[in-house]
Structure 1
Amino acid sequence: MNWFLVVVGGMIGAPLRYLTDRAVQRRHDSVFPWGTFTVNVVGCLVLGLLTGAANAGAAPDRLQALLGTGLCGALTTYSTFSYETLRLAENNARLFAFANTVGSVAAGLGAAFAGVALGEAVWG
């Protein structure tokens, strides 16, 4: 049954990623990949919240499969982050490539830690 929940979460996460990426990127006149940055940070926050809830005993395995593996797995994208960073570097936008790398890691980790703390505070 967990595999079905992963599939359902992925069916929601993949189009959500695409639509969010397009909507965010349309609002910025920049070569910086704001759409991918946004979905990855939001995914880290959601996964952090879910982890905090699980640590507090408030997130059953089924919810973790649906939201953690399915939704967040399809919402976030390490491959696109890597590709876009490589393209920035190849197109002589090395400062943007560096900012994307450092900013994505820092913001993603920060969002995950904040999510865990918030999840444990709410459900703990």
Structure 2
Amino acid sequence: MTSELTTSGRADDGEPIDPDIDIHRPEQRRELARSHGAILAVISAGGALGALARYGLAQLWPTPPGGFPWATFATNVIGCFLIGILMVAVTEIWVAHPLVRPFLGVGILGGFTTFSTYANDTRALLHPDTMITAFTYFALTLLCALPATLIAVRLARWAYEAIRSPERKAVA
């Protein structure tokens, strides 16, 4: 069962949402704002950079009317691949600064990849003369982007293990 937050800072069942924070104490409200402020700032900065990179790719590789949106397709597949590598890196390989994952993952790669443009491009192609392109784009994006994440995760783990292997250390 999930609890709904009330204006008192308590769930509808009367339990505090976060028992360590009393939202009625001004100093704790300020601390909450400060701790989330840095995360929001790095996500915003990263999102702007990711969106600019996506925009740049779209400008370099424009989609003709009724054509296959290769730039958006490439953006999403590459972005999913990079997210797979990033998640292995920051969760299994090294202890990253707490702002690295929000900046790179949610910010840059979240701003770079675009489900909304994917959906809009698909919708725009849903006309009798471009129906095959629409369904090809729709399916191919899913069939490539999702496995790209899995492949990246496996490659990152494999590469990390290869670097750490005893044979490799003996040579060094």
Q: What residue is the counterpart of 2:15 in the other structure?
A: none
CA distance in 2, matches of 1:113, 1:37: 17
Residue 25 of structure 1 pairs with residue 88 of structure 2? no
Distance verdict in 2 for CA 1:117–1:67, change over 3 Å? same
Gaps of 5+ in 2: 1-37, 162-172
Distance verdict in 2 for CA 1:49–1:14, change over 3 Å? same
- How far did residue 121 of structure 1 move? 2.4
CA distance in 1, matches of 2:139, 2:73: 11
Q: 1:46 aligns with which of 67, 78, 82?
A: 82
CA distance in 2, matches of 1:59, 1:100: 38
Q: Which has the higher helix share?
A: 1
Residue 114 of structure 1 pairs with residue 160 of structure 2? no
Q: In structure 2, the residue corresponding to 1:31 is in which secondary structure?
A: coil
- How far did residue 64 of structure 1 move? 1.1
- Identical residues among aligned pairs (%): 28
Whose RCO is larger (CA < 8 A, sep 6+)?
Answer: 1
CA contact (8 A) 1:21 1:38 kept: no
- How far did residue 14 of structure 1 move? 0.8
- Say which is worse superposed, 70-79 or 28-37, in terms of deviation: 28-37
In our comparison, the structure showing a higher alpha carbon Rg is: 2
Residue 58 of structure 1 pairs with residue 94 of structure 2? yes
Amino acid of the residue matched to residue 44 of structure 1? C
- How far did residue 11 of structure 1 move? 1.8
CA distance in 2, matches of 1:59, 1:67: 14
Q: TM-score, normalised by structure 2?
A: 0.65
Distance verdict in 2 for CA 1:91–1:72, change over 3 Å? farther
Residue 4 of structure 1 pairs with residue 52 of structure 2? no
Considering only aligned residues, what root-mean-square deviation do their CA atoms show, in Å? 2.0
